[in-house]
Amino acid sequence: MLWDIYLGDGTAGRFKNISHKISFLGPILVTISVLTGNGKAVTNNYVPTIIDPVFFIGLTLFIIGFSINAIAYLKKGIKYLFTKDILLNTVIISLFISIVMILSLVSSILLNREFAEPIIFYERLFWTPGHIQQILNGSLLIIVWYTLLRKHGGEFRTWGFLKYANLLLFISAVFISSIQFFNDPVDKTSVAAAEITYAFGLGLPVFLHIANIIRNLKRANFGVAYIALILSMIIYTFGIAIAYGGFANDLRVPAHYHGAVTSLTLAFMGLSYYLIRDIRSRVYGERLARFQPVIYGAGMFLFILGLFISGAFGAPRKTYGVAFTSDPVVLASLTIMGIGTILAVIGGIIFVGYITVTLVKGGRRYELPG
């Protein structure tokens, strides 16, 4: 979607519709595979797998559609690679990171021919492209933040060195992609190398962009863009700070990655509000829509806070039983997590509700071309 907004014209336009349609079939088939209960579920990371033909067909279609779109925009990405517009530069960097991710998946398929237990086999297969996807998510987060910043206050100032921060994102993706050619990607050494790369090659660029965004905020304008932007950056910073602080195999781990992931979800929710206004003559539930990022953002913050405190007091993750709740601090913090869960679910329901009703009943603001 972001590529279509910022790069979408010329040759790429001919591939846009087909790539989106192919990609759209992917999650439909994956969902069908989940709902039917067929196949064996494997709890590997990056992509948790169901050994079922319907699942693999869906996953393959999504990857093919995504790859068509990425390759279609590659020529334009090369043309504008050295642009001084930091938002466009980040869009192009995300494109190149995507190409690295696609190539790393192909390499992983070719290299991963040794028979192993399913969880090890699929962990190895998806480890490299999955880790590169996290860097791609970081670049997407920056793009959405800057887009919200423009919705919030128009044009903004930028530091020239930020393009080198973006370059560091790309170099980090290339480095992680190269690991699989020299070492087992799930080996401890490989995992440690990826974690160090994340700390410097992903965390540092994102925090530099956060600093640039903060200095451009117009504090008198408290619209949806401002609220979604601020809450998204707070949740991201909290989640990443947990990782920098270190943790054992406890509930601080999901606290960390929920901060990293849901910050992007919240940012996209805020952006969706403006996108829906661009194509519909009215937004149904306008008041709720404006308040929705607050409900979801506050809920996720409490959710992460509850997990973090519980983990800090020894509550384990992926462990059966409730013995750890005998600690009153853990029980109280899990209660905070539960309250946050309820708020986040309510915020999600409001988002899906007003977007769906507006799409169905909102009326077109203008006739779409074609």
pLDDT value of residue 357: 94
**CB neighbours (10 Å) of residue 120?**
16
pLDDT value of residue 368: 46
Distance between CA atoms of 267 and 163, rounded to whole angstroms? 22
List the one residue out of 147, 202, 124 whose CA is nearest residue 170: 202
pLDDT value of residue 237: 96
pLDDT value of residue 50: 95
pLDDT value of residue 45: 85
Joined tokens for residue 200: 């410097």
Tens of pLDDT, residues 256-292: 999 999 999 999 999 999 999 888 888 898 889 999 9
pLDDT value of residue 246: 84
Those residues whose C-beta lies under 8 Å from the C-beta of residue 133, and which sit 6 or more positions away, are 46, 101
Residue 181 backbone phi and psi in degrees, to 5: -80, -15
pLDDT value of residue 366: 58
pLDDT value of residue 12: 54
Residue with the two structure tokens 């995504």: 66
List the chain residues with pLDDT less than 70. 9-16, 366-370
Joined tokens for residue 55: 């699942």
pLDDT value of residue 348: 97
